Structure 1
């Protein structure tokens, strides 16, 4: 349970940082909240290069990014759906627990 609490705490820090400019940061829809790469790194604990590598491996189940502009140029801004990143993280935890059982 301590692991879940720690995960929830770090997720909430990112969530509040995302909504810090709003009057009511506790009211948001995680399925429509986009987070940038530094927040993905904070939530998952993996590095930037690994995030992009996992995105190219369909078997990893890592969520695909959302293009923020119509640009196809390298370095065009992208973000990830918060709920998808959290679901991937929970799936990794569940996979670990299944292996241990």
Structure 2
């Protein structure tokens, strides 16, 4: 299954870092621990709380992150 970003809205972590059990390829191939360490340090965007046990990331924030990776090279 292809894993592409929608135009707008929110994405869950498994959509960003992938999930082999669900056959989702990663957009940003890092581990869950690396992702949350990056969120804590400010390298990756902070999530938005959608409910008591649900967080997601704004697609716009993920696109900005991907753009910054392209500019780093």
After TM superposition, the score normalised by the length of structure 1 is 0.55
Higher strand proportion, which one? Answer: 2
2:16 counterpart of 1:37: no
Identify unmatched segments of 5+ residues in structure 1: 1-9, 19-28, 97-101
How many angstroms apart in 2 are the aligned matches of 1:77 and 1:91?
26
Deviation at 1:14, TM superposition (A): 2.2
Higher RCO, 1 or 2 (CA under 8 Å, sep at least 6)?
2
Larger radius of gyration: 1
After TM superposition, the score normalised by the length of structure 2 is 0.73
Count of aligned pairs between the two proteins: 64
1:15-74 Cα shifts (integer Å, max 9, x gaps): 3xx6xxxxxxxxxx52xx10001111121111211111101102x2x11101111x3xxx
Aligned to 1:55: 39
Identify unmatched segments of 5+ residues in structure 2: 18-25
